[in-house]
Structure 1
Amino acid sequence: MPKAAPFEEHTDRYEGWFEDHEDAYRSELEALRRLLPTAGRGIEIGVGSARFAAPLGMDVGIDPAGAMLGYARERGVDVVRGVAEHLPFEDDAFDTALIVTTICFVDDIPRTLSEADRILDPSGRLVIGYIDKNSPVGRIYQENKEQNPFYRDAVFVSTEEIVDALEKAGFTDFEFVQTIFHWLDEIDGPEPIEDGYGDGSFVGIKATR
């Protein structure tokens, strides 16, 4: 079952995170922007309230949490209610698929990536952004997950695990960026954005079919 209940019940708390951690949010946005193509039709899988889809130019968003989709709709994204493992779109329907933080909430990562592959054009790009479970922020999130309604049921993953899953799904040509080099409450201003992974807690991966 999709882990949507906390996002239905605590929508205001979710939105408040972005307001309370604006510099971290802006840093994550800019890291992902470096990976995303500037043209073509895009979808965010697990769009939430469209905090990423709207500024990054995604046309469509899908999410199982209806409360979140209300915010996404207000931010100008065409929304569909559904889950990542069963995308209600035709083959080759999009040029870009974006998945931000959602990868730790899906029930089936291989199925999610298979569906992303199916709906992408043969020359399409998949971009995934997430907190690496082996990073400083990832470790703190895992240590305190029982106190957080969003992360209580999350299954955090490492970059190596995601790359392995992407390769098994047929994706290649990986490009990495990383940001968030401090604990979130200590960030004051934009964080650096660097190539690669292993130092920053937030990692972005671009992969091709």
Structure 2
Amino acid sequence: MPKSQPFERHTERYEEWFDAHEEAYRSEVEALRRLIPQPGFGIEIGVGSARFAAPLGMHVGIDPASDMLSLARKRDIEVVRGVAERLPFDDGTFDTALIVTTICFVDDIAQTLAEARRILRPNGALVIGYIDKDSPVGRMYQEKQSENPFYRDAVFVSTDELVEKLEAAGFSAFESVQTIYRWPDEIDEPEPIDSGYGDGSFVGIKATR
């Protein structure tokens, strides 16, 4: 079942993180923007409160947490309640599908990727942003996992693992960016954004249908 209960119960705490870590958040947004300069008709899967969907030009957002969807609606996103493994959209509906800090919460990554590919138009792009399991921040999150209501049930993935799953789902033409080189509490100015992965803790991957 979707791991949405913490996001329903701690919506305000979720929103406060972005306000308290504004430069880290902006660095992540700008990193992903490099992968989707022209999103076309876009959807964010696991939209949350639309902190990424809105600035990155997505039109639709789907999420199982109703309180999050209320906030996304206020950010002018058309919202649908549902889960990543069963997307209520026709084949080939979207030009871009975005998944940010959500891949570690889905019940079935393979099914999520298959559904994302299904709803994309030919040559459509899937962009995934996440904390790499093997990065400094990723390792710290795992060490403190039991203390955090959001990450308690998360299953983190490494970039190599995710690329393998994307290839198995039929995606190709990968492009990646990375940012967040310090612990978010220590970031008080924009972080560098570089191509590739392996150094930055936040990684964005673009894959083509």
Which letter does structure 1 place at the counterpart of 2:145? Answer: K
SS for the counterpart of 2:98 is: strand
Structure 2 alignment gaps of length 5 or more: none
Map Cα deviations across residues 51-105 of structure 1 (whole Å, 9 max, x no partner). 0000111000000000000000000000000000000000000000000010000
Distance (whole Å) between structure 2 residues aligned to residue 170 and residue 157 of structure 1: 19
Which letter does structure 2 place at the counterpart of 1:76? Answer: D
- Match runs of 1:25-174 below 5 Å: 25-174=25-174
Taking structure 1 as the reference length, the TM-score comes to 0.99
Distance (whole Å) between structure 1 residues aligned to residue 119 and residue 102 of structure 2: 17
> Higher mean Cα deviation, 27-36 or 37-46?
37-46
Contact 2:39 2:57 in 1 (8 A): no
Map Cα deviations across residues 110-137 of structure 1 (whole Å, 9 max, x no partner). 0000000000001100000000010000
Q: 1:39 to 1:149 in 2, by over 3 A?
A: closer
Which letter does structure 2 place at the counterpart of 1:109? Answer: I
SS for the counterpart of 1:104 is: coil
Task: Tell me the percent identity.
Answer: 75
How many Å apart are 1:188 and its aligned residue? 1.4
Contact 1:37 1:96 in 2 (8 A): no
Distance (whole Å) between structure 2 residues aligned to residue 184 and residue 74 of structure 1: 26
Which letter does structure 1 place at the counterpart of 2:192? Answer: P
Distance (whole Å) between structure 2 residues aligned to residue 126 and residue 37 of structure 1: 13
SS for the counterpart of 1:103 is: coil
The corresponding residue for 2:201 is 201
Distance (whole Å) between structure 1 residues aligned to residue 124 and residue 39 of structure 2: 11
Q: 1:37 to 1:120 in 2, by over 3 A?
A: farther
How many Å apart are 1:192 and its aligned residue? 0.2
Contact 2:64 2:82 in 1 (8 A): yes
How many Å apart are 1:37 and its aligned residue? 3.9
After superposition, the CA RMSD in angstroms is 0.5
Which letter does structure 1 place at the counterpart of 2:84? Answer: A
How many Å apart are 1:186 and its aligned residue? 1.0
Aligned length: 209
> Higher mean Cα deviation, 181-190 or 101-110?
181-190
Distance (whole Å) between structure 2 residues aligned to residue 123 and residue 161 of structure 1: 23
Contact 2:42 2:60 in 1 (8 A): yes
The corresponding residue for 2:185 is 185
Structure 1 alignment gaps of length 5 or more: none
Contact 1:125 1:206 in 2 (8 A): yes
Which letter does structure 1 place at the counterpart of 2:66? Answer: G
Contact 2:39 2:58 in 1 (8 A): no
Taking structure 2 as the reference length, the TM-score comes to 0.99
